């Protein structure tokens, strides 16, 4: 059985990148590592839209989220957290773990935050030091209005904007310097088309001033220490060397495609997926502000979403994901980010159609695939 990984992380990896990573390991303190890091540093700045260094950690994405909190905030600080899903909840949990008091804006699952709520909260409490948000809330398939929120936070000298861009960097434009994003985070296993194991943090000049004052405990995820090291084309501790070799190749391929084309490709793939699901009579979970990284879809009445997911995986070799917590059993999620083209979309949609047919859902077989083809042919 041929296998297809269509989840919002880990995502598929190109054969060229796999071959790069299969090369003999090199020593990270040896001269041959230097040009590799120089290239990666430059291209990460390009991807993040920042003149500042992008720090690299050997961890999953959450490591950099943890570091974003512990490096910029102080004991007893207040933070404003936008919580519209599992990852928003994670921001609040990280704050709690370090004694940062989190004021939470609860957003209904499937909806995006209204920027005026952020504006109001900041106006009401001038002590809020940071706003923490997801650019793309993967658990619900929602995109939050980061640019509008950045425009608000910019006006507060004593507040920074920390953005989890883990399923947004490489999917959406998030130019850090231009928009005024203070910390931008991503991970390797999403739109960066690598195996899990690398986390990244871009840090603005404004945020570096917060780093100077921060007194929360930290050791491995120490931004100041990493900044010093990366300027010498090093990391403080052993980097995930093979992943960095793969990253260099990924960034070369991304530069060749161009950011505008990358964003357009994700838009088209997402459009095709959404319209295909509607064409077979299914309802989208996040119709108002859907993310271009992942489409979340309500399972039809009477069919538990887990059954669709299981059928796709066990009978068809296609891995998609379900919902968590309150959305468990109700939705399935089709990812379309990273190393992903129009044919992958057709595979995803036809797998859903095969599963629905087998589960006796009544619809016109092929209607979703046809709709997707029409959109992708435009």
Ligand X SMILES: *Cc1c(COP(=O)(O)O)cnc(C)c1O
What is the closest distance, in whole angstroms, from the C-beta atom of residue 273 to ligand X in the complex? 17
Which CB sits closer to ligand X, 291 or 350? Answer: 291
What is the closest distance, in whole angstroms, from the C-beta atom of residue 65 to ligand X in the complex? 6
What is the closest distance, in whole angstroms, from the C-beta atom of residue 139 to ligand X in the complex? 8
Tokens representing 164? Answer: 């989890």
What is the closest distance, in whole angstroms, from the C-beta atom of residue 86 to ligand X in the complex? 8
Which CB sits closer to ligand X, 138 or 295? Answer: 138
Nearest partner of 176 among 291, 322, 84, 46, judged by Cα: 46
Q: Under the rule (CB under 6 A), what is the footprint of ligand X?
A: 8-9, 60-62, 87, 134, 138, 164, 166-167, 187
**For the chain, where are the E strands, in sequence order?**
4-5, 54-57, 78-83, 101-106, 128-134, 136-137, 142-143, 160-164, 183-187, 199-203, 294-298, 318-319, 321-322, 331-335
Which CB sits closer to ligand X, 61 or 300? Answer: 61
167: DSSP letter: T
Tokens representing 366? Answer: 């092929």
Q: Beginning with the edge strand found earlier in the chain, give each strand of the sheet holding 128-134 in spatial order.
A: 54-57, 199-203, 183-187, 160-164, 128-134, 78-83, 101-106
What is the closest distance, in whole angstroms, from the C-beta atom of residue 6 to ligand X in the complex? 15
What is the closest distance, in whole angstroms, from the C-beta atom of residue 335 to ligand X in the complex? 10
Which CB sits closer to ligand X, 159 or 186? Answer: 186
Cα separation, 224 vs 70, in Å, equals 12
Nearest partner of 91 among 66, 109, 113, judged by Cα: 66
Cα separation, 347 vs 365, in Å, equals 14
Which CB sits closer to ligand X, 138 or 296? Answer: 138
Which CB sits closer to ligand X, 68 or 372? Answer: 68
CB 374 within 8 A of CB 330: no
What is the closest distance, in whole angstroms, from the C-beta atom of residue 333 to ligand X in the complex? 11
Which CB sits closer to ligand X, 11 or 350? Answer: 11
């Amino acid at each position: 059985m041929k296998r297809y990984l269509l989840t919002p992380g880990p995502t598929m990896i190109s054969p060229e990148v796999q071959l790069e990573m299969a090369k003999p390991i090199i020593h990270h303190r040896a001269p041959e590592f230097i040009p590799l890091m120089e290239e990666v540093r430059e291209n990460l700045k390009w991807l993040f839209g920042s003149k500042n260094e992008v720090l690299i950690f050997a961890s999953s994405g959450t490591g950099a989220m943890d570091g974003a909190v512990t490096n910029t905030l102080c004991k007893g600080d207040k933070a404003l957290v936008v919580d519209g899903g599992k990852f928003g909840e994670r921001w609040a949990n990280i704050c709690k773990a370090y004694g940062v008091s989190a004021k939470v804006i609860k957003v209904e699952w499937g909806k995006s935050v209204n920027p005026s709520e952020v504006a109001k909260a900041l106006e009401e409490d001038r002590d809020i030091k940071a706003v923490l948000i997801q650019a793309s809330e993967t658990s619900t398939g929602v995109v939050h209005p980061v640019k509008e929120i950045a425009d608000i936070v910019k006006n507060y000298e004593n507040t920074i904007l920390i953005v989890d861009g883990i399923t947004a960097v490489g999917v959406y434009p998030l130019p850090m310097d231009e928009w005024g994003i203070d910390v931008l985070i991503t991970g390797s296993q999403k739109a960066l088309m690598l195996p899990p194991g690398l986390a990244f943090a871009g840090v603005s000049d404004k945020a570096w001033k917060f780093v100077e004052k921060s007194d929360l405990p930290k050791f491995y995820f120490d931004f100041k220490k990493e900044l010093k090291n990366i300027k010498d084309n090093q990391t403080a501790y052993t980097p995930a060397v093979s992943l960095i070799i793969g990253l260099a190749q990924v960034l070369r391929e991304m530069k060749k495609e161009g950011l505008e084309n990358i964003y357009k490709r994700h838009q088209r793939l997402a459009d095709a997926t959404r319209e295909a699901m509607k064409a077979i009579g299914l309802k989208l979970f996040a119709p108002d502000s859907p993310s271009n990284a992942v489409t979340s879809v309500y399972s039809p009445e009477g069919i538990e979403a887990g059954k669709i997911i299981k059928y796709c995986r066990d009978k068809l070799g296609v891995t998609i994901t379900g919902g968590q917590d309150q959305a468990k059993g109700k939705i399935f999620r089709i990812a379309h980010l990273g190393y992903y083209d129009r044919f992958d979309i057709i595979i995803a949609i036809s797998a859903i159609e095969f599963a629905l047919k087998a589960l006796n859902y009544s619809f016109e077989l092929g209607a979703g695939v046809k709709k997707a083809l029409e959109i992708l042919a435009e």
